[in-house]
Structure 1
Amino acid sequence: MDDTLKLPFYARLTLILVGLIASAFIFYIGQDILIPVMMSFLFAILLYPVVNFLKSKIHLPHVIAVMLAVILFVLVFVGLFVFLSFQVSDFVNDFDKIERNFYIHLENIQIFIRDNFHLSSRQQKEYIDSATEDSMQKGKEMIGTTLMSFTDTLMNLTLIPIYTFLILLYRTHFLLFLSKLIKKENHEQLKNILTNIRVAINSYIVGLIIETILISIMTTVGFMLIGLKYAVLLGVVTGILNLIPYIGILFAGLLSILASLTGSPDLSIIIGVIVITVVVQLIDNNVLVPLIVSSKVEINALVSIIGIIIGGSIAGVSGMFLALPIIAIMKVIFDRVESLQPWGYLMGDHLPKTYTWRKIKLPLFDSEERAETTEINVSKADVIVPTFTETTTENTPKRTDDTFPS
């Protein structure tokens, strides 16, 4: 007998929207707890191949393999932090030069405005003072907020390695828990969803790392060619800030322009910085992202932008970074649950057919065309499908690592 309750479309739509709103609200009020856990989940997926290598090739015990993988992960970030700290300390020593060159450019701008808009330097100063008077109090509040945010960041940096270690250590336990929540006849679908989530998130994170390295190299080489001081520091910072979608590159460009004032007040250096930043960004958006960062779960640009904006409004920079992985996980689930497949299709990037007009390919939107949702193809050689075993209190199965996707 089928006990499934059939609901009309508007009722199902209402329940879905209420669920999404409730999830967003819970994420908002519990972001201090959930963000480190979700970050750790992503890093655990990234580190699992390392753990698997240490266990299968070097034959280390599970606990030691997990511990070594997390320690290596922490050492990489500590080394990067130490490198940036030394570079930033040298950069701070040149702050007097930056201030002196800044005032030279400011004076040139004032002369240009005076000659073309007939505003004296005194009038310009009055406009600037009136515009900045109200922002002084906001600046003080912003400093206090920044200090609190910095304290929270330090706390998260301490918790993330601990959470990552525990997620990797108890991954079999968590998977068996999921198997007990789902009916036995749906275990195959659960295995498919978990496997594809792992593949999609892993490819996304590895793509981001490769993109960051390439952006850092291209920016560093470009800044070296124009003779910019601290080219390596600015290149690495640009690559890291580029991880923040859409706005990270703007902050990196402003920081690079500010750093260009450590050398000379020559305007050509600033123009060179702007040109290199724009060129690198064009290469990133049109070459690197489609070839490297494109996840196995394709998400269209509109959903990506909306998700990033919502993530930023809920949890700031961390929410913007987590937005795309969360959307990718949601799409994997939606594509494999029959009642949610239309939403998975809406989130996908299904390009229309094209036709040639004067040797130019243009999209062909056919009203009779019915696109199929994109499935993730995973070869059996790359994935070991997990096996779920029903357990009782009298006969508890031995936990092995074979119950998890490799």
Structure 2
Amino acid sequence: MQKLQRFTYFLFFISLAVCVLYFAREFLIPLALSGVLATLFIGFCTKLENRGMNRGMSSLCAILLFLGAVAIIVFLLTWKLNDLAENIEGMEEQIVGLFDSMKSWINEKIGVSAQKQDEMIKQTESANGENGNMLFNFASGTVNVLIKTILVIVYMYLFLYFRSRIKKFILMMVPKSQDGKAERVIEKSAKVSQQYLSGLSKMILLLWIMYGIGFSIVGVENAIFFAVLCGILEIVPFIGNITGTSITVLAVVAQGGGSNQIIGVVAIYLFVQFIQTYLIEPLVVGDEVNINPLFTIIILVAGELIWGIPGMILAIPLLGIVKIICDSVPQLQPYGYLIGSDRKRKTSLIDKVKNLFDKK
């Protein structure tokens, strides 16, 4: 009876937490994103402070490093954008041709005339709103993104500057006898986010190189742009890499690429995924976030429903922190076991080769 009551309280807490996360998302998303990103620069700030730099300057250097990395990504995306813009007309002609072919196919197979299809498209456009509303929504969305970006940068700086005070506050909230345990939980939570993000950054860099070489060999126009796009979309697990490759395939079709080029892009995607799964992830990312596949998918879907795309990006590191807390609290250990995985480490391609030689 006591266990049932405890489980009921747990479900009530989860329901309340979901409501708070959803209705306060405009406030919580920049805060959570900046907190997770700040963990990536804790080690960097600590090294600077050990060399005599004060806390304010070390935090500022971390922010400048972050902005520099963002600037490099933007430069790589816009580097070949001029060449892409020059081919827009040709791509538009290809896309119009594809739509005409699709209309003809629908007319032949389903019996819906091209005129009727055009009327349906116009009705959909009018239902979505007038051009003025679309322009207003685009402008307000851009301003909203800029404000949130500034908030994230400010929050990051303040988290790094006041990290000792925040840690001391958490330790003051627990009994003195639990100080050591609480400090280990804080260190593990910061470490899991830091290792996940740093490993993900290294993996994205390697994906840029592999996709760039592969797309260039196949002959994709503006290969660097699509390679950087596919790598960046990797921050959204499972969905990002498929989305990036789909966009590349559509661009190849719009550019007038033949079936061999499309097959080449898909083959590169499959090859890169194989290398990523069996070589890059075990060596670079590892299993810092030890969550089983079931709850990985559940938390990604829940993150998208509650916070949208930022929720999908933050879902795995935040659930990793929740798992560490559950493992450290006796009453919550069953939930930590449910979320976790018994698999200690992924077997990489290098490990398999070594095992073959060891058997011989």
Q: Deviations over 1:6-55 (max 9, x none)?
A: x8011111111111111111111111111111111112111111111212
Tell me whether 1:242 sits opposite 2:234 in the alignment: yes
Q: Secondary structure at the match of 1:53?
A: helix
Tell me whether 1:54 sits opposite 2:45 in the alignment: no
Q: Which segments of 5 or more consecutive residues in structure 2 lack a partner in the other structure?
A: 345-360
Q: Secondary structure at the match of 2:237?
A: coil
Q: Deviations over 1:276-302 (max 9, x none)?
A: 223323433444334432332410000
| Aligned equivalent of 1:98 | 91
Q: Secondary structure at the match of 2:256?
A: coil
| Aligned equivalent of 2:156 | 164
- Tell me the percent identity: 24
| Aligned equivalent of 1:346 | 338
Which stretch has the larger CA shift, 77-86 or 313-322? 77-86
Which stretch has the larger CA shift, 323-332 or 80-89? 80-89
Taking the aligned partners of 1:248 and 1:326, their CA distance within structure 2 comes to 19
Q: Deviations over 1:301-330 (max 9, x none)?
A: 000100010000011100011110111011
Q: Secondary structure at the match of 1:96?
A: helix
| Aligned equivalent of 1:383 | none
Could you say which structure has the higher helix fraction?
2
Q: Secondary structure at the match of 2:180?
A: helix
Q: 1:267 to 1:147 in 2, by over 3 A?
A: farther
| Aligned equivalent of 2:209 | 217
Picking from 314, 333, 344, the partner of 2:325 is 333
Deviation at 1:103, TM superposition (A): 3.7
Taking the aligned partners of 2:312 and 2:176, their CA distance within structure 1 comes to 37
The 8 Å contact of residues 22 and 307 in structure 2, kept in 1 or not, is answered as yes
One-letter identity of the residue aligned with 1:13? F
Taking the aligned partners of 2:287 and 2:115, their CA distance within structure 1 comes to 52
| Aligned equivalent of 1:318 | 310
The 8 Å contact of residues 311 and 319 in structure 1, kept in 2 or not, is answered as yes
Deviation at 1:213, TM superposition (A): 1.1
Taking the aligned partners of 1:309 and 1:119, their CA distance within structure 2 comes to 36
One-letter identity of the residue aligned with 1:129? D
| Aligned equivalent of 1:125 | 114
| Aligned equivalent of 1:3 | none
Tell me whether 1:65 sits opposite 2:58 in the alignment: yes
Tell me whether 1:9 sits opposite 2:3 in the alignment: yes
Deviation at 1:146, TM superposition (A): 5.3
The 8 Å contact of residues 94 and 262 in structure 1, kept in 2 or not, is answered as no
Taking the aligned partners of 2:254 and 2:90, their CA distance within structure 1 comes to 5
Which stretch has the larger CA shift, 176-185 or 266-275? 266-275
Counterpart mapping for 1:6-405 below 5 A: 8-57=2-51, 59-106=52-99, 113=105, 118-119=108-109, 123=112, 125-126=114-115, 128-129=117-118, 132-137=121-126, 139-140=128-129, 143=134, 147-261=139-253, 263-351=255-343
Alignment RMSD: 2.6
Taking the aligned partners of 2:93 and 2:250, their CA distance within structure 1 comes to 12
Q: 1:118 to 1:287 in 2, by over 3 A?
A: same
Taking the aligned partners of 1:43 and 1:243, their CA distance within structure 2 comes to 13
One-letter identity of the residue aligned with 1:135? T
Higher-Rg member (1/2): 1
Q: 1:326 to 1:265 in 2, by over 3 A?
A: closer
Q: 1:304 to 1:329 in 2, by over 3 A?
A: same
TM-score (norm 1): 0.77
One-letter identity of the residue aligned with 1:170? F
Taking the aligned partners of 1:351 and 1:67, their CA distance within structure 2 comes to 39
Taking the aligned partners of 1:145 and 1:294, their CA distance within structure 2 comes to 41
Q: Secondary structure at the match of 1:242?
A: helix
The 8 Å contact of residues 289 and 316 in structure 2, kept in 1 or not, is answered as no
Q: Secondary structure at the match of 2:40?
A: helix
One-letter identity of the residue aligned with 2:301? I
Q: Secondary structure at the match of 2:207?
A: helix
Taking the aligned partners of 1:169 and 1:216, their CA distance within structure 2 comes to 33
The 8 Å contact of residues 105 and 265 in structure 1, kept in 2 or not, is answered as no
Q: 1:188 to 1:286 in 2, by over 3 A?
A: same
Q: Secondary structure at the match of 2:308?
A: helix
Taking the aligned partners of 2:69 and 2:77, their CA distance within structure 1 comes to 12
TM-score (norm 2): 0.86
Q: 1:131 to 1:251 in 2, by over 3 A?
A: farther
Taking the aligned partners of 1:311 and 1:30, their CA distance within structure 2 comes to 14
Q: How many aligned positions are there?
A: 341
Taking the aligned partners of 2:253 and 2:343, their CA distance within structure 1 comes to 45
One-letter identity of the residue aligned with 1:249? N
Taking the aligned partners of 1:42 and 1:316, their CA distance within structure 2 comes to 17
The 8 Å contact of residues 102 and 265 in structure 1, kept in 2 or not, is answered as no
